[in-house]
Amino acid sequence: MSLHDYFERTYFLSYCQSLYNKDRAYDVEQTDRLNRHRHVEPDSAQFLANIAMIRKPNKVLEIGTSTGFSTLWLAYGLRHCPNVGFISLDIDKTRSDVAKSHLQAVGLSTLVDLKVQDASDYLSQNREIFDFIFLDAERKFYSDYTEYLHCALTIGSVLIVDNVISHSGEVNQFLAVFKNDKRYICHTLDIGAGLFMAVRQEP
């Protein structure tokens, strides 16, 4: 590792850690769940970066940017894929703008197309295929996305969903559709709040 790479990596790690700690402290003070940033756990974020690094996707979709903690890590895992199309969606413009400033601060903003849009509206109009989709938004709407997600995934595509252990009751029905679909091989990973991973094996 060159000295430049070393300093870049050290800066990135310390930036992410301080972002996580600051937003976590804010979240603890919030009584309304929807006011919280609700970042993925650091372990989960690093797992996402690893999957991005291993899979080397051409097209990535994140649903639920918040202020960009998972987005930063996904972008970090994609930093050697300069032509990647990485879209991250959030319905909340203020959060998306904050995410943009964090991405700029670590020099990864050119890798991410931040969109402010409702996930259902986006998915219903989407005709693109994604190699990697990370879903981390409002769980009660996930079942509405199922058919759109099937259409947006192809052989070798990876779908990852957060909070599947911490909030299993809210996502079990949605996940069962993938588990019972022979086109996918699925795993529940005991990382952070629990990650579900489905890899598409068949068209």
Ligand X SMILES: C[S@@+](CC[C@H](N)C(=O)[O-])C[C@H]1O[C@@H](n2cnc3c(N)ncnc32)[C@H](O)[C@@H]1O
Q: Which residues bind ligand X (CB under 6 A)?
A: 38-40, 64, 66, 69-70, 89-92, 95, 118-120, 136-138, 141
Instruction: Tell me whether residue 109 or residue 120 sits nearer to ligand X (CB atom).
Output: 120
Taking the complex as a whole, how short is the minimal distance between the CB of residue 56 and ligand X, in angstroms? 21
Q: What angle do CA 59, 51, 160 make, to 5 degrees?
A: 75
Taking the complex as a whole, how short is the minimal distance between the CB of residue 96 and ligand X, in angstroms? 8
3 state DSSP class of 176? helix
Contacting residues for 7 by C-beta, under 8 A, at least 6 apart = none
Instruction: Tell me whether residue 73 or residue 178 sits nearer to ligand X (CB atom).
Output: 73
Query: With contact defined as beta carbons under 8 Å apart, do 79 and 54 qualify?
Result: no
Q: Which residue has the tokens 């299993």?
A: 168
Query: With contact defined as beta carbons under 8 Å apart, do 163 and 194 qualify?
Result: yes
Q: Which residue has the tokens 């402290």?
A: 25
Question: How many CB atoms lie under 10 A from the CB of residue 23?
Answer: 19
Taking the complex as a whole, how short is the minimal distance between the CB of residue 48 and ligand X, in angstroms? 9
How far from each other are the two terminal CA atoms of the chain, in whole angstroms?
40
Instruction: Tell me whether residue 42 or residue 85 sits nearer to ligand X (CB atom).
Output: 42
Instruction: Tell me whether residue 84 or residue 135 sits nearer to ligand X (CB atom).
Output: 135
Instruction: Tell me whether residue 138 or residue 147 sits nearer to ligand X (CB atom).
Output: 138
Taking the complex as a whole, how short is the minimal distance between the CB of residue 181 and ligand X, in angstroms? 23
Phi, psi (degrees; rounded to nearest 5) at 100: -60, -45
3-state helix, strand, coil split of the chain in percent (to 5) is 50, 20, 30
CA distances from 47 to 3, 93, 155 (A): 25, 27, 21
Q: Which residue has the tokens 């996918």?
A: 184
Taking the complex as a whole, how short is the minimal distance between the CB of residue 180 and ligand X, in angstroms? 25
Instruction: Tell me whether residue 151 or residue 193 sits nearer to ligand X (CB atom).
Output: 193
Taking the complex as a whole, how short is the minimal distance between the CB of residue 90 and ligand X, in angstroms? 5
